[in-house]
Structure 1
Amino acid sequence: MESYERHLITHAGHPIAAPLSDASVDALLAAALAHVPDGAGRLLDLGCGEGAWPLRALAARPGARAVGVDVNGAALAAAARAAEGAGVADRLTLHETSAAGFTSDQPFDAVLCVGATHAFGGLLQTLTSVRPHLAPGGCVVVGEGFWERPPTPAALAALDAVPEEFADLGTTVELVLEDGWAPVFGHTSSLAEWDDYEWHWTGSLTRWVLDHADHPAAAEALETATAHRAGWLGGYRGVLGFVTLVLRAAR
């Protein structure tokens, strides 16, 4: 099964590809665009996938415009269809290119990179790369993992990670501050949000297998769902955290 097909299936019931509830997403978007009056604003989502964040922002702000960037053509096609269905296609522009390679001649009031900092090589590299995209007073919304507690061997194995890959929450925020950013809002995902995300991820893929038992990729998909669920429940559940920060440049 191609990775893009798996992504579309695993996120069918949870379009936000991160452990965030709908209420949390709305609060983060409101904080990111609080400085923009009259329901307007320009938003850029780097690593937008199926466009869940831009679509949510455009639905709530009738004067807003958004740009989504992703290397996944199938996900972008799904985003375009969703935008048509929501009646916001004329306000959403999609680019099939790398997040790190995207350029624009216009700045943005909010730049999002939630759960996609790997595209830039890490959190601080992401912040360096997105800074030129920001309009004066604009906000970055960045979502990043952190260690809730020291990672266990089981957690590291499930995530294919090393201890240095993430810091704890306090150190993560300190790194952002030292890099010249000021947090104006943030959300630390709860265990319930994590569970909801993971049950949707594994459950949607398992449901697809049951409904497509004759598909050539069914066995691979079932193995993926089983391994993912085991790695989450027996490895990183309660160990890996996720924080989404709304940042403004302090210098």
Structure 2
Amino acid sequence: MSDLRIFSVRESRHRIHNPLTEGQLAGLGVALELPAGARVLDLACGSGELLSTWARDHRITGLGVDLNPDFVCDARARAAELGVGDLVRFVEADASGYVVDEPVDVAACVGATWIGGGVPGTIDLLRRSLAPGGLLLVGEPYWRTVPTTPEALAACGVRSADDYLTLPDLLASFGALGYDVVEMVCATEESWDRYMTPQWLTMRRWADAHPDDELHDEVRRLLATEPQQYAAGARTHFGWGVFALIAR
């Protein structure tokens, strides 16, 4: 639960919990040419921005699943704010192993492939909820520059460069699993900055307001170490993308 609270604290001002801008998310929805009434499942949906904005812009219907009660509450509020509460709904549940009874047109896991133990397992999980000919959306980091020193690996929060693939190798891995890549949107340094750096101001204000909270010391530790770690790690070495896949 403390891990969930950390995310709730640091990303409380975020509507998108990945290094993706509002414009990139909207552009992806346009590029996919989603018809009105398309059914979308979003596992580990965070605050539900994908479902709610695409329901507003394209009149899709959808279900979002997330384990974090704060994010689910925010998602329901966002759907109400945009007037799409009749089109999308959100449930607080563990997305790992979550399969819907009625197949959907789009099954997504954008940035949380831990729910399936990695990319192959997550694709297999999403496939179980997908109608024939449907579309998968998978968000995943990749190496933009592969770290080669122990210091760089530590800054990236990994033990080995084998933990992730380069973009060409990641795209090839989708093909090896039997899928065509039909669209992708990738993070930029600016979108990484817009995702990461606002968290530091949020954490500082929270720490100042909650000196006696059990998470205070951990938040202070993150504030003291994360900016330098981010500059040396994710900002230098990591790419990140959302990939649209259709089975061959």
| TM-score, length basis structure 1 | 0.89
Going from structure 1 to structure 2, the CA distance change for 1:198 and 1:155 (only over 3 Å counts) comes to farther
Aligned AA for 2:23? Answer: A
CA deviation after TM superposition for structure 1 residue 216, in Å: 4.9
Runs of 4+ in 1 over 6 A off after TM superposition: none
Residue 73 of structure 1 pairs with residue 73 of structure 2: no
After superposition, the C-alpha distances for 1:52-106 in whole angstroms (9 at most, x for unaligned) are: 21112112123x2110111222321222222223322222222222223212121
Q: Which ranges of structure 1 fall in alignment gaps of 5 or more residues? A: none
Paired residues for 1:15-34 under 5 Å: 15-32=15-32, 34=33
CA contact (8 A) 2:6 2:215 kept: no
CA deviation after TM superposition for structure 1 residue 119, in Å: 1.3
Query: What do you get for the CA RMSD once the two structures are aligned?
Result: 2.0
CA contact (8 A) 1:154 1:236 kept: no
Residue 168 of structure 1 pairs with residue 138 of structure 2: no
Q: Which residue of 2 aligns with 1:224?
A: 222
Q: Which among 39, 43, 47 is matched to residue 44 of structure 2?
A: 47
Aligned AA for 2:42? Answer: D
CA deviation after TM superposition for structure 1 residue 123, in Å: 0.9
| TM-score, length basis structure 2 | 0.90
Q: Which ranges of structure 2 fall in alignment gaps of 5 or more residues? A: none
Aligned AA for 2:5? Answer: E
CA contact (8 A) 1:156 1:236 kept: no
CA deviation after TM superposition for structure 1 residue 181, in Å: 0.7
Q: Which residue of 2 aligns with 1:204?
A: 202
Looking at structure 2, the residues matched to 12 and 56 of structure 1 have their Cα atoms a distance apart, in angstroms, of 18
1:88 counterpart SS class = coil
Aligned AA for 1:9? Answer: V
Aligned length, in residue pairs: 246
2:86 counterpart SS class = helix
Residue 106 of structure 1 pairs with residue 75 of structure 2: no
Q: Kindly, what percent of the aligned residue pairs are identical?
A: 29
CA contact (8 A) 1:202 1:226 kept: no
2:96 counterpart SS class = coil
